[in-house]
Structure 1
Amino acid sequence: MRPVSSVTHWLDFRIWPDHPWLMHVQSLLWFAGAIVAAALLYRRLLVPAWVAGLAALLFAIDDAHGMPVVWLANRNANIGVLFGLIALIAHDRWRRNGWRPGAFVAPLALLLGLLAGEIALAAGGYLLAYALFLDVDTWRGRLASLVPAGLVGSLWWVTYRVMGFGASGSGVYIDPGASPVEFVHAVIERAPMLFAGLWGIPSGLGHFLSQSAAHILWLVAVGLMVAVTILLLPILRRDRAARFFALGMVLSLVPACATFPDDRLLYFAGFGGMGLLAQFLSAVWQRVDWVPSSRIRRLPFTTASWVLVAFHLVLSPLSLATTSSRVRTFGEMVNRAASSLPSDPAVTDQVALIVNTPTAFISFYGPLLQALEGRPIPNRTLILGSGIYPTTISRPASNVIAIRPDGGFLAPPGSPRPGHEDSQAAFHPVYFFPMLDHLYRDATPFEVGDRIGYGGTVVEVVDVTENGRPVEVWFHFGVELEDPSLLWLQWQGGVYVPFELPAVGETVVLPEVYLPLW
């Protein structure tokens, strides 16, 4: 439910539909607005001014902003953060300076932020942190100050649920309202990785690791949480603004745990993180009273400060600058695959059947890009097999094809190829693809004999793993497989090529798929 963001995209296609660069300019303007709002709020909360300036600089060059800036579909994050920060500024002016319009401007800005994107939920965490640590009113007054925002948040949540928004059936996206226990488990699993992303370890690194390596990385992330907390304890004990930034940062991570860890989810959490980092760096550099006078005892603080400087003032802007090239590489890869799809007029009467692909996520783009370019598209497109390992395809009958990927369908992310467990690499880009397939399917188990009908095709599960993942699936068609209404394709070298059907009773094995990521 993002009507505010939707309006901005509607304007793109109404005013400059053939000029994507102007669409990117609009996203950049929203991003610039978020930076300005963050700088204004830092200036209100941090002294001296140069510390506020350092915090604003750290926030502006944070590589977590890369995707929201260059990916047009993620513009909602820029808008949601901007209005969320405006809500915090108005709230601070109301509570600190007695600016009465702030009592209305703050909840209004929060509402606009929520209608732009769910990321604005993080503003609620900062408002709570403000009431706990920065507001000087009585506890009753502090609680009352949260009522307007609470009403707005409750109204948004009820509307969100009544209108049917949310996630269902995904193994990656978790709806906190519909699956609270599962969400708590996700917070335990994902929050440490997101926290690590704020302090130097890419939060999405685990997607490219084997299962055992990902478990080790999680332990490293937990260790980093403990280390950062210990380093920051002195300033947290002494400074109310630091406690505000810290609690707001941590609470911002909670809604982000509803999906897989990625640095782009750290946009709002980064506001608190960069404010806290600026305070820590300034304290160490100025050797304030809590910084040990002994060089040896001071060494952990000085070492940490320069490591953080290297990550956030050197590596982070470099990573931010390369985001566009990474997105462009992905776009070129998807366009190359889509352009290989048949586009003669006859395909409009055919069903395209893709027997293997690295991930269904990639193949979904094909018909969409064909339609966008005005090319003929198949009547329907069915993805029969998805996975990075070899796929065995057999033909039990003239109208039946059997698909059996090595390791089964919906293999757990980072899982090894069966029979190659001892030689599995700890890091490999292809580990990312199974996670993408779990976007569209949760862990609800199948049983042998399960049948699903879809547009004249019957999908039958004939073998499953111990935990109910399909191992082999038969696809029953109402016509023989050679019927001209069926268009058979396979993935090969990053493009789609015709698939040669085996004869009845025969079997073919398609090799591991290749997808050029870099």
Structure 2
Amino acid sequence: MLVSLPSLTVGLLLDDLLHRLVLSGQFHDFGQWNRLGLYEFVGTATTMPAGLREGGLLPWWTPDTLSVRFFRPLPSALLILDTKLFGEAPFPAHLHSLLWFLAMVSVVGWLHKRLLPVPLAAVATVAYAVAAAHLMPVAWIASRHPLVSGVPGLLALAFHLRAREDGWRPGLFLGPLLFVIALLGGEPALSAVALIGAYELFGRREGLRRAAPALAPYVFLVAAYLAFYVARGYGARGSAAYLDPARAPGTFVTTVAQRVLILLADLVVATPSDAAASVPPLHPAFALWGALVTIGALVLLRFLHGRLSEQERRTLRWLLPGGLAAVVPGAVGVIGGRVLMIPLLAGSALVAVLLVRSWQASREAELSRWTRTGLRVAVVLLVWGHFFFGPLFRMALGVALGRIADAQWSLARSAPPCDGTLVMVAAADPTIATYVPAAMALTGRAPHRYRLLSAAPHDHYLERTSANGFDLVVHTEERKVGFWEQVYRDVSPAPGTQVQLSGLRITVKESTEAGPMRVHFDFDRPLESPDLCFMTWHDGALRVLALPPPGQGVSIPHELGPMGL
């Protein structure tokens, strides 16, 4: 709870604002969301990209094929409950998230105590509780779903273990029932069944024929869930931020492997995957680090094998492959600590075994000095990562998220008023590009219409070509893909692409694989019309952009926003 305290002060943040807008019905004219489908952002019959582009909720470069829909009715219902009970107040909703987190830690503690000797179980549970990975599910209300899915998912594992090892017959029914509830909470439930499968296949060692009856209910439920998921069009397509196996199978496999290694670094030495996710160009380096520390952990475990108790060997024999399999579902989407709620059960158990047994071995006089030194270095690395750096990162980023939330509300209140069409010329930071306009709507300052012209993380140059139009040029020798660009499309719009919106025609003149380089924007009225409000991000605020006369231009430098993008 102490490590979570900074997270409790975070206001409504990012997708929290979109959820409030949907629940308030402010986007009724451009899309209708099922109230239990708050995570079905785009792609349903009533939330097609064309309508959301027209309404300004999606930028012009969004393809008609974009679909980002996740089956999470239980978290949606809890968000509705928060709104009904607490209104717009975020603090009670954060306490609600904290209760789910404490429930998660309690279940993990019970499992650790069952699977490991008590001293190691204590170390493992503390490592789990203070892990940096818990930052977003506790600090970000819209990201509560991994906890809502993880608690019943791990309870299903706990009851399955009781049924198989203690003969507790209610567990045969309660396990699958809780797994169904976990599936209603979201995709993280699939990680729980990975652990159950690993237990039956590698833990009991009774052969597939004996394991099949115990696994049958879970196999049936997973098959039914996946069939339903595909048939109803859930998942993400048309977005580079999410992986689609049908689009490029080879790239899918290599990218998933890379992301798995990044997540393993978070599990093994607490290298925050949330930090890695925000810097895509460094993903190969983070993946290499993940491979090195994972191999190092396995080598160390092999060295310590003779010093482990039979209970520890039996547990790690199935918990480690189960934990690896549990990481894979989270590697398909936008990676970060929130996808590790269930795999962390295995990660924290491994850390506890390595930490305690390495420390004990380092005190054995018969080992060489170099071996003892190496073991102590491993201990220091594990303690530093899991018990100092990880918790400090979680607390510091909790404070940072609070500042981002405050900034988006402050900017929404201080932005120049606009009663017509607010045209955001260039904004790479999602806070500025999307969430400040959302906060403006929630504070009663919404413009009539909103348009985002560019989210490229580079300097721009605006060339006025006529009374009604201009070219927007990205100024850089090496074009990078902006975070918001990759979320809303999977491929760059080709030269010649045209998009028609109310009052605006867009034509892509030059483009690279990373994104457009020159785009022409032609409005249906003079740019000096009082109902057109051209703004950009400059000197820490939204400011009116003074347009040059036809034949001239103006530079628009790229400046980092509240999220550092």
TM-score range, shorter chain: 0.7 to 0.9
User: Are 2:275 and 1:228 aligned?
Assistant: no
The 2-side partners of 1:27 and 1:128 are apart by 29
Judge conservation of contact 1:111–1:153 (CA < 8 Å) in 2.
no
Q: 2:95 aligns with which of 21, 25, 31?
A: 25
Q: Is the 8 A contact 2:429 2:562 kept in 1?
A: no
Q: Which of 332, 340, 346 is matched with 2:406 structurally?
A: 332
SS at match of 2:81: helix
Does 1:472 find its partner at 2:518?
Answer: yes
Q: Does residue 458 of structure 1 match 2:505?
A: yes
- Tell me the distance in 1 between the aligned counterparts of 2:505 and 2:274: 37
Q: Confirm or deny: 8 A CA contact 1:355 1:385 kept in the other structure.
A: yes
2:385 to 311, 329, 339: 311
Q: Which residue of 2 aligns with 1:507?
A: 553
Question: What TM-score, normalized by structure 2, do the two folds share?
Answer: 0.81
Cα distance in 2 for partners of 1:371, 1:159 equals 35
Compute the displacement of 1:176 (Å).
4.2
**Match for residue 261 of structure 1 among 335, 357, 361:** 335
Taking the aligned partners of 1:206 and 1:151, their CA distance within structure 2 comes to 36
SS state at 2:550 partner = coil
The 8 Å contact of residues 359 and 437 in structure 1, kept in 2 or not, is answered as no
C-alpha distance in 1 between matches for 2:510 and 2:365 = 63
Aligned to 1:90: 159
1:76 matched to which residue of 2? 145
Partner in structure 1 of residue 105 of structure 2? 35
Taking the aligned partners of 2:91 and 2:129, their CA distance within structure 1 comes to 21
Partner of 1:384: 453
Structure 1 stretch 9-18 or stretch 197-206: which is displaced more? 197-206
Confirm or deny: 8 A CA contact 1:338 1:366 kept in the other structure: yes
Pick from 387, 391, 397 the counterpart of residue 323 of structure 1. 397
Following superposition, the deviation at residue 295 of structure 1 comes to 3.8
Instruction: Choose which of 174, 183, 197 in structure 2 pairs with 1:128.
Output: 197
State the alpha-carbon separation in 2 of the partners of residues 334 and 67 from structure 1. 18
Q: Deviations for 1:67-104, whole angstroms, at most 9, x for unmatched residues?
A: 11111111111111111110100110111112222122
Q: What letter is aligned with 1:330?
A: I
Post-superposition Cα deviations, 1:218-250, rounded to whole Å, max 9, x if no partner, equal: 333322222222112345697121122211221
1:440 partner letter: Y
TM-score when scaled to structure 1? 0.87
Q: Does the CA-based 8 Å contact 2:362-2:371 persist in structure 1?
A: no
1:53 to 122, 131, 141: 122
Aligned Cα root-mean-square deviation (Å): 2.6
Write the distance in 2 (CA, Å) between the matches of 1:287 and 1:507.
69
SS in 2 for 1:397: coil
Count, aligned residues: 488
Q: Contact 1:236/1:242 (CA < 8 Å) preserved in 2?
A: no
2: CA distance, partners of 1:210 / 1:20: 31
The answer to whether residue 496 in structure 2 is matched with residue 449 in structure 1 is yes
CA distance in 2, matches of 1:273, 1:58: 9
Q: Partner letter of residue 191 of structure 2?
A: A
Q: Specify which of 57, 67, 92 is matched with residue 136 of structure 2.
A: 67
Q: What corresponds to 1:280 in structure 2?
A: 354
In 2 relative to 1, CA 177–129 (structure 1 residues): closer, same or farther, beyond 3 Å? farther
Partner of residue 416, structure 1: none
CA distance in 1, matches of 2:189, 2:366: 39
Give the 3 Å change call, closer, same or farther, for CA 463–320 of structure 1 in structure 2. closer
User: Residue 417 of structure 1 corresponds to which residue in structure 2?
Assistant: none
Q: Helix, strand or coil for the counterpart of 1:363?
A: helix
Take 1:157 and 1:177, find their aligned partners in 2: how far apart are those partners?
A: 15
Change (3 A) 1:40 1:501: same
- Native 8 Å contact 1:242 1:279 kept in 2: no
Match of 1:118, SS state, is coil
Quote the residue 2:218 is aligned against: 149
SS at match of 1:515: coil
Q: Please point out which of 100, 103, 117 is paired with 2:186.
A: 117
Q: Any stretches of 5+ residues in structure 1 without a counterpart?
A: 414-433
Q: Which one of 463, 466, 488 corresponds to residue 440 of structure 1?
A: 488
- In 2, the alpha carbon distance for the partners of 1:452 and 1:408 equals 26
Which residue of structure 2 lines up, in the alignment, with residue 11 of structure 1?
Answer: 81
Indicate how the Cα distance of structure 1 residues 362 and 498 shifts in structure 2: closer, same or farther if over 3 A, else same.
closer
The 1:360/1:447 distance shift into structure 2, 3 A limit, reads same
Identify if the C-alpha distance between structure 1 residues 341 and 229 changes in structure 2 by more than 3 Å, giving closer, same or farther. Answer: same
Contact in 2 for aligned 1:88/1:127 (Cα 8 Å): yes
**Take 1:291 and 1:201, find their aligned partners in 2: how far apart are those partners?**
32
Give the superposition deviation at 1:291.
Answer: 11
Q: Do the aligned partners of 1:206 and 1:214 also contact (CA within 8 Å) in 2?
A: yes
Change (3 A) 1:226 1:508: same
CA deviation after TM superposition for structure 1 residue 402, in Å = 1.0
Superposed CA offset, 1:277-328 (max 9, x none): 1122232234399997444334322320222012212222223333321210
**For 2:465, what is the secondary structure of its paired residue?**
strand
How far apart are the structure 1 equivalents of 2:93 and 2:213?
A: 41
Aligned-pair identity in percent equals: 28
Distance in structure 2 (CA, Å) of the matches to 1:207 and 1:35: 25
Shift of 1:38: 0.5
DSSP 3-state at the match of 1:146 = helix
- Equivalent residues of 1:337, 1:366 under 8 A apart: yes
